[in-house]
Structure 1
């Protein structure tokens, strides 16, 4: 049974999450502050952590930084803080997803499933990706859309593959710029926007109703395609 740790100082939120998630077959444990949460991580060894940032003893961002020194357990931040700066900081500190309060249970459950699948590696295809519309073949480095081979530049291919290999996870602009353009280009987000637009055009992916690449404005990008491995 998948064990989820909730770190949140609001009893009503913990109770609501416990009732909602236990009804879906998850096993829940709780912590009401950051230090207790770090202890519970070591004791309970959860499969997933749901973390609030506004904790009474230490800030949730610090909790993220500390837990990443000793564990790789996936973390979903659940917070009222909705600024781009907070989201980017949390993602750079090691959270796997960021959900704003108030939230819908169905959306949270979908995010939980996506993060758990990504963490388990079940959705990462060793030979590529194929959903019947889009096919990415790693050995031949070819991409086809509706059976037609589409030419991608090396950088376009790298970015698409990076997103596919982290399904359901937001990859921040800073992460992508640092990895593919280097430290000197962390402020050049327009580079990324241009390449993402070109990738979407080639996939026939409408940014207003995305089937593959979802934008979190000012923060980064997420691959949302339904993965069916080759």
Structure 2
């Protein structure tokens, strides 16, 4: 497989196990670094297709490193950590992570999650006739995974783009947070409404002129969220 995988992990035993596991699955382009500085330096010259990121690194906090990585790549980021608290998981998603895997982990599950993330990524970058969703303030390019807001191209994580694209393809329909989590994250799990709320907030910060008074992704209290493709102008005449 030609997908390039970057492992950021300082525990040699875990890094070696992951390299061996991925090699057995046919992934030949696997690179491993043990520090955040090395990871950032690597991304200056090349971009991986997916990143496995340890939270506890010798030179930095993985959550904070994720923010810096997001300035350089929109590749899916999967956190690897022994932290199991809901707060840590939500922090990982808020910082731009796409998945969260706790140690000790099942090797088959890790491979399955990597394959799922890579498959979704390919859906947005595969060669096909151009197809865009264009709105007053922004444009979504479904083929390239690009987001242009008021003439400026912005980076999106894979999950942010997937959620925004889902809204664009289902306008004027009401969805609960639980429904969005099931449909976009492809998982049924209680207690993840906050994850959806965090991602909606991140999207609003990108596309809305005033994220505190959103016009596109509107919350109907007690009911859910609706994407309104043609909202009223901010200052109607």
Per the normalisation by structure 1, the TM-score is: 0.60
Superposed displacement of residue 106, structure 1: 0.5
Q: Could you tell me which of 51, 67, 73 is aligned with 2:75?
A: 73
| 1:33 and 1:57 in contact (8 A); partners too | yes
Q: Deviations over 1:125-168 (max 9, x none)?
A: x9xxxxxxxxxxx9997xxxxxxxxxxx9423786467534546
- How many positions carry a matched residue from both structures? 167
Partner residue in 2 for 1:16: 17
Partner residue in 2 for 1:107: 109
Partner residue in 1 for 2:196: 176
Are 1:43 and 2:37 an aligned pair? no
CA RMSD of aligned residues (A): 4.0
- Partner Cα distance (2:188, 2:99) in 1: 6
Per the normalisation by structure 2, the TM-score is: 0.58
Q: Deviations over 1:75-125 (max 9, x none)?
A: 110111111111101111111100000001110011001111122226xxx
Are 1:118 and 2:137 an aligned pair? no
Q: Which has the higher contact order (CA 8 A, sep 6+)?
A: 1
| 1:5 and 1:30 in contact (8 A); partners too | yes
Partner residue in 2 for 1:215: none
Match of 1:76, SS? Answer: strand
Q: Which runs of 5+ in 1 are unaligned?
A: 127-137, 142-152, 185-189, 196-230
Superposed displacement of residue 3, structure 1: 1.0
Match of 1:107, SS? Answer: helix
Match of 1:30, SS? Answer: strand
| 2:81 and 2:103 in contact (8 A); partners too | yes
Q: Which runs of 5+ in 2 are unaligned?
A: 125-130, 132-166, 202-210, 214-220, 225-237
Q: Deviations over 1:6-31 (max 9, x none)?
A: 10110111110000001111121010
- Partner Cα distance (1:7, 1:18) in 2: 11
Partner residue in 2 for 1:147: none
